[in-house]
Structure 1
Amino acid sequence: MRITVIAKQPVPGRVKTRLCPPCSPEQAAALAAAALADTLTAVRAVAADRTLLLDGEYPADGFDICHQRGDGLGERLANGFADRPGPTLLIGMDTPQADPELLGAALAWLGQADAVLGAAEDGGWWALGLRDPAHGELLRDVPMSTPDTGRLTALALAGAGLRVLPLPVLRDVDTLADARAVATMAPGGWFARTLAGIDLPVTT
């Protein structure tokens, strides 16, 4: 079993741009870096092979670094699955509240199905596990980063005859309201501490 984290190098102006304003690009990048750090820490605590599917450069001890390739996100995801063999749970860097217990359970559920899918509250998904990484090809034709991405991904998997088990629905970090809500779910993590150290308006 493998856990792959898809991530973008936390460079100001390239990550978490929907946090700006009220965040500055530097503050948004700091929050992205903290979310990624929490995610990598959680994955390290799970008994699994580990890959960081990376856009840019980022040090990640204990992870096999695999650079993203492809024009669109669907293509990069499909290639990310194809580039590493075996059952794989792919997660993003925007859900730092996903703890080792949840990730371990997701891997266990993947052992009982063809796929597992964790929907995000915004209509996307935060995790996709495939027992056969060749099924990642289904993602090439799924519109990404839309309110229907999760639903269309589920339809694509079901349409291929795969047995899919749902994972818990999580809230990912896109807006400041998201960031504050997620921080309360993992108050001891780097993300929550980084957010607490940023002077931001009380209302959004």
Structure 2
Amino acid sequence: MTANTTLLVIAKEPVPGRVKTRLTPPYSPQEAAELAAAALADTLATVRAAPASRRVLVLEGKPGPWLPSGIDVIPQCAGGLDERLAAAFASCTGPALLVGMDTPQITPALLAPALGSDAWRECDAWFGPAVDGGFWALGLAAPDPGLLRGVPMSRADTGALQRARLTDAGLRVRDLPRLRDVDTADDAGLVAAAAPRGRFAAALTRLTAASGSPAGSGR
């Protein structure tokens, strides 16, 4: 398999009160940050195991012990999420695939169609839709920041609008599987069940066992 694609991860430093705020309640800000750190660690482990010409963490904040070797770190730019995503792609000179930190259930096998030697044959973009209406992955053969700027983010139609931006530009788009982001406690339980051997599932099990509540439930 030829590694000719840059793998980008856009993420926030898992600081209490700044990440996964929709998990509070039932989880405390510290617990939500622990879950975010576990999700980020799972995501970066997958990125390390997947074939890529370069692996880059586009980070808001500072690296921590969750950062493995072999991954470059660049800071996020200022502005809305569309501007930050656009800037991440602008840092690349060839094909790039971007994922977030909210889908710790991703695996190298799931990313493989967008990273293989024929990933860009008769294909200009890869799109990974999310259950909440957003998207968890976006790949561009030619990383044009203008394909992201101005797309409304964090809405139920964000994914549809972003995909339409690609097709309206004449791009040939292939889809990756629909995945669930970790936004709420219920999401957390479902994602952990989908990837029970990951750090995220282990962290969720530990926190819910300590509280005496089932994973994904209120306390």
The normalised TM-score by structure 1 is: 0.96
Total equivalences in the alignment? 203
Structure 1 distance, partners of 2:207, 2:50, is 31
For residue 43 of structure 1, what is the aligned residue in structure 2? 47
| RMSD, aligned α-carbons | 1.2
2:111 maps to 1:106: no
For residue 202 of structure 2, what is the aligned residue in structure 1? 193
CA contact 2:51–2:115 (8 Å) conserved in 1: no
Which string of whole-angstrom CA distances, capped at 9 and with x for unpartnered residues, describes residues 140-196 of structure 1? 110011111000001100111111001100001000110000001111110000000
For residue 179 of structure 1, what is the aligned residue in structure 2? 188
Structure 2 distance, partners of 1:35, 1:10, is 10
Partner SS for 1:140 = coil
Using a 3 Å threshold, how does the CA distance of structure 1 residues 154 and 103 change in structure 2: closer, same or farther? same
Larger fraction in helix? 1
User: Which runs of structure 2 are paired with 1:8-47 in the superposition (5 Å)?
Assistant: 8-47=12-51
> Larger deviation: 123-132 or 77-86?
77-86
Gaps in structure 2 of 5+ consecutive residues? none
Whichever residue aligns with residue 71 of structure 2, its letter is F
Which string of whole-angstrom CA distances, capped at 9 and with x for unpartnered residues, describes residues 7-48 of structure 1? 000000000000000000000000000000000001100121
The normalised TM-score by structure 2 is: 0.90
User: Which runs of structure 2 are paired with 1:75-90 in the superposition (5 Å)?
Assistant: 75-90=83-98
CA contact 1:54–1:68 (8 Å) conserved in 2: yes
Structure 2 distance, partners of 1:185, 1:158, is 31
Gaps in structure 1 of 5+ consecutive residues? none
Q: How far off is 1:80 after superposition?
A: 0.6
Structure 2 distance, partners of 1:185, 1:38, is 13
Whichever residue aligns with residue 43 of structure 1, its letter is V
